[in-house]
Amino acid sequence: MIAIGILALILTAIFSTWTAILRSIQVGNNAAASVQRARIAIRTIDESLASARMFVKTTRFSQSLTNYDFIAVNGSEPLLSFVARLDKFFPRSGKFGDLDVRRVTFFLKEGTGSTHDLVLRQQPLLMDEDEDEKRRPLLLAKNVKELQFMFWDSRKNDWTDEWEQVGQLPRLVMVILKVADRVDSTRADEIITRMVSIPAIPVAETWQMPVPMGGPNRNPTNPPPQPPRPP
């Protein structure tokens, strides 16, 4: 009986140790997966911002300014939306075929319990929103505690959390993403900050609508040929 009791204690200790090891492995895997997913999310935002495009308002196409709006919202419902020319390797590009100029929208939606998930919704420019994208946006990161955007304002020579310059793209965007490893976590376990430089500038109106040859703005030093005078 004594031997059986000792054996039972040993087996209980081994089982407890093995359970603790498995729990630690699971926690480590969850943490690694959370960090990896958060870094992929930041990279996706980085790649899309680097491909941002904007056309300024023209007299002929009065809706062009609205179509290319750069929208940024911070606070409890953060959102970042803009138009970008995306490459073939961008997530879900195969779904849109050759429609590589799309509006991308990053925002938070309710996740499991009281958590929030970072998702991406895409829409080809000048086309109706895809119903599948509307119902099932692409999941980028889970258990997001905070998503914040900062913009470099050249006029103030400082960072601002609001972008109110209509018809302009910010030169620098700072993205701050805070995620937790577990659903029940009360704090952020991973904080990722990325500063993205936007190389593109709005396409000027004169570049969008070049004056045709022989038009009213023809070079006066090279006037169009005159018709022959009657005899």
Q: What is the pLDDT of residues 181-227, one digit of tens each?
A: 888 888 888 889 999 998 866 665 555 555 554 444 444 444 544 54
Answer with the residue of higher pLDDT: 46 or 165: 46
Residue that is written with structure tokens 């204690």 in the block: 9
Residue that is written with structure tokens 């997530």 in the block: 91
Q: What is the largest CA-CA distance in the chain?
A: 135
Residue 70 to residue 31: CA distance in whole angstroms: 34
Supply the pTM of this predicted model: 0.73
Backbone angles phi, psi at 205, to 5 degrees: -65, -40
Q: What is the mean pLDDT of residues 36-53?
A: 90
Element of type H or E holding 175: strand 172-179
Span 14-31, pLDDT tens digits: 888 888 887 777 766 666
Residue 220 to residue 211: CA distance in whole angstroms: 14
Residue type, 33: A
State whether residue 156 is helix, strand or coil: coil
Answer with the residue of higher pLDDT: 166 or 131: 131
Residue that is written with structure tokens 């004169």 in the block: 206
Q: What is the mean pLDDT of residues 147-157?
A: 91
Span 158-173, pLDDT tens digits: 999 998 887 788 999 9
Q: What is the mean pLDDT of residues 32-43?
A: 81
DSSP 52: B
| Residue 104: other Cβ atoms inside 10 A | 24
Span 55-108, pLDDT tens digits: 765 555 455 557 888 999 999 999 999 999 999 999 999 999 899 999 999 999
Strand duo 144-153 + 138-141: pairing: unpaired
Which residues lie closer than 8 Å to 137 by C-beta, 6 or more apart?
Answer: 109, 119, 120, 121
pLDDT confidence of residue 204: 59
Contact 46, 196 (CB under 8 A): yes
